[in-house]
Amino acid sequence: MTESTWKNAHAAAVLQGAAAVVLLGIGAWQGLSALSSPQGWQRLESNLTPSAFLSGRLTGAVNQVLAHQLPADPLLRGAGAAFRYNLFGSGGPQVRVGCGETLFLTEELRPWPGAEQAMAERADGVLRLREALGARGIQLSVAVVPDKARVQAAALCGAPRSSQSADRYDTFVQLLQGRGVQPISLLPPLSEQEARGSAYYRTDTHWNQQGARAAAVAIARSLEAAPLSREDSFRTTAAAEQTEGPGDLLRLTSLDQVPAPLRPRPDHQHLERTEAAGEQGGGLLDEARAPEVALIGSSYSVNANFHGALQEALRSAVLNAATAGGGFSGSAISYFAGESFRQSAPRLVIWEIPERVVAQPITEAERRFILSPGVEGR
Q: Are 201 and 246 in contact (CB under 8 A)?
A: yes
Exposed e or buried b for every residue in 60-93, given b needs 16+ CB within 10 A? Answer: ebbeebbeebbeeeeeebbeebbebbeeeeebbe
**Paired strand residues for 244:** 268
- Burial class of residue 287, CB neighbours in 10 A (0-12, 13-18, 19+): exposed
Cα angle for residues 337, 185, 204 (degrees, 5° grid)? 75
If one counts every other C-beta atom within 10 angstroms of the C-beta of residue 217, the result is 17
Q: Which sequence positions are flagged as catalytic?
A: 204, 206, 299
Nearest alpha-carbon partner for 314 in 287, 345, 285, 293: 293
Q: What are phi and psi of 64, to 5 degrees?
A: -65, -45
Query: Whole-angstrom Cα distance, residue 335 to residue 204?
Result: 27
Q: What is the DSSP code string of 253-303?
A: TT-TTS-GGGSPPPPEE--EEEEETT--SS-TTTT-PPPSEEEE-SGGGGS
Cα-based distances in Å from 34 to 76, 81, 286: 15, 22, 45
Query: Whole-angstrom Cα distance, residue 370 to residue 359?
Result: 14
Q: Are 200 and 207 in contact (CB under 8 A)?
A: yes
Please state the length of the chain. 378
Which uninterrupted H or E stretch holds 34?
A: helix 3-36
